[in-house]
Amino acid sequence: MKFFSLPMIQRIFILFVVTISVYLISMVSLKHTTGDFDVYYNSSHNYLNKAPVYVPHGGIEEFKYSPLFALCFSPLTLMNKTSALYVWTILNILFLYGIFYLFYRLKQISFDSPRDFLIIILLFALIGRYVIANLKLGQVNVLLCFLMVLSMYWEINKRYFLSSVALACGLMIKFFPLLFVFYFLLRRRFKLLAYAFLMVVVFLFLPSIYSGWDLNLKYLHGWFVLLKSTPPILLYAVKNYSLLSFFSWFFVARHQGYDVFDYQLIKTGLDPAVYYAWGISCSVFFCFVFSMIGSL
């Protein structure tokens, strides 16, 4: 009965959330997860059995995450793959809603006015296809985004150690959170960055509790070697959704005379200096944006 006592706009929002959740869960299928969830599942299963995890496979469909991620994901491998995929999907949906909840706690959005409700609808209209693709493939990007927003949330609330934990957790998944280091430097959060460095060290060796010290060192070595040996083509390959790959869709395709929608035909890239220039330009751009945010 409490539901019917809520304002109309809040009831509509709850129904919207429930509908979206049911739809996202209903589309779960192992037919779409090859290369992402399957990699997490199989590699974490190997980790649980203390078998090789970091196996080269030509740069694609390789487990390129830290031993800590394998350890944290491994409980899902105790169930069959279909059940694990449903649990993983539900967790990702919760992480997605957790992002909006943190924005709500920061008073960036509310659920009381039609305007904010419209903003959320438009946001899903713009990025919904990518969120759906992330969930269908069983990718880890929603979790990564949640950790980054959580790190910002705790930093704003001056909980620097907790913020560093979230940042370090994100770095155990992908290196994209390194961009946020620029923001914390501009904000002079040196204590936070020191904590983050400490937590990265802790998280690198924490899996030793399960695997043992020697095996964990072997896993870390295999991880670093695999990252180092990743073929440069993955910087602009269609299977990669990195920032450099996004640029390549436009510039490399044009450079080779392909239509922008034929980026999957790209066989070679531009001079490495171009990629370095893009990387530096993006870093400068993020510094500028973060400096503007810090001055607000």
Q: Residue 30 CA to chain centroid, in angstroms?
A: 20
Q: What tens digit of pLDDT does each residue of 76-112 get?
A: 999 998 899 889 999 998 998 898 889 888 887 776 6
Cβ neighbours of residue 103 under 8 Å, at least 6 residues apart? 109, 149
Same domain, 276 and 225: no
Burial label, 82 (beta-carbon count in 10 A; 0-12, 13-18, 19+): exposed
Confidence (pLDDT) at 123:
74
pLDDT at 269 over 60: no
Same domain, 288 and 207: no
Total number of domains constituting the chain: 2
Confidence (pLDDT) at 12:
66
Confidence (pLDDT) at 228:
82
Residue among 90, 108, 105 at smallest CA distance from 296: 108
Same domain, 169 and 74: yes
Same domain, 117 and 257: no
Distance from C-alpha of 169 to C-alpha of 203, rounded to nearest angstrom: 8
Confidence (pLDDT) at 260:
46
Same domain, 88 and 216: yes
Domain encompassing residue 187: 3-230
Same domain, 79 and 225: yes
Q: What tens digit of pLDDT does each residue of 242-251 get?
A: 556 666 666 6
Percent of the chain with pLDDT over 90: 35
Distance from C-alpha of 265 to C-alpha of 258, rounded to nearest angstrom: 8
Q: Give the residue from 199, 230, 261 where a domain finishes.
A: 230
What average pLDDT is seen over the chain?
80
pLDDT at 162 over 50: yes
Cβ atoms of residues 76 and 88 within 8 Å: yes
| Amino acid type, 40 | Y
Distance from C-alpha of 278 to C-alpha of 8, rounded to nearest angstrom: 48
Cβ atoms of residues 60 and 35 within 8 Å: yes
Distance from C-alpha of 158 to C-alpha of 152, rounded to nearest angstrom: 10
Same domain, 238 and 186: no
Same domain, 41 and 181: yes
Cβ atoms of residues 267 and 160 within 8 Å: no
Same domain, 152 and 52: yes
Mean predicted confidence (pLDDT) in 220-245: 71
Q: Coil, helix or strand for 128?
A: helix
Residue among 159, 136, 140 at smallest CA distance from 72: 140
pLDDT at 206 over 70: yes
Q: Give the residue from 230, 254, 285 where a domain finishes.
A: 230
Same domain, 32 and 177: yes
Distance from C-alpha of 210 to C-alpha of 208, rounded to nearest angstrom: 5
Same domain, 128 and 192: yes
Q: Residue 224 CA to chain centroid, in angstroms?
A: 19
pLDDT at 265 over 80: no
Confidence (pLDDT) at 267:
59
Confidence (pLDDT) at 3:
52
| Amino acid type, 105 | R
Same domain, 26 and 100: yes
Q: Give the residue from 230, 257, 286 where a domain finishes.
A: 230
Structure tokens at 101: 């909840």
Cβ atoms of residues 40 and 140 within 8 Å: yes
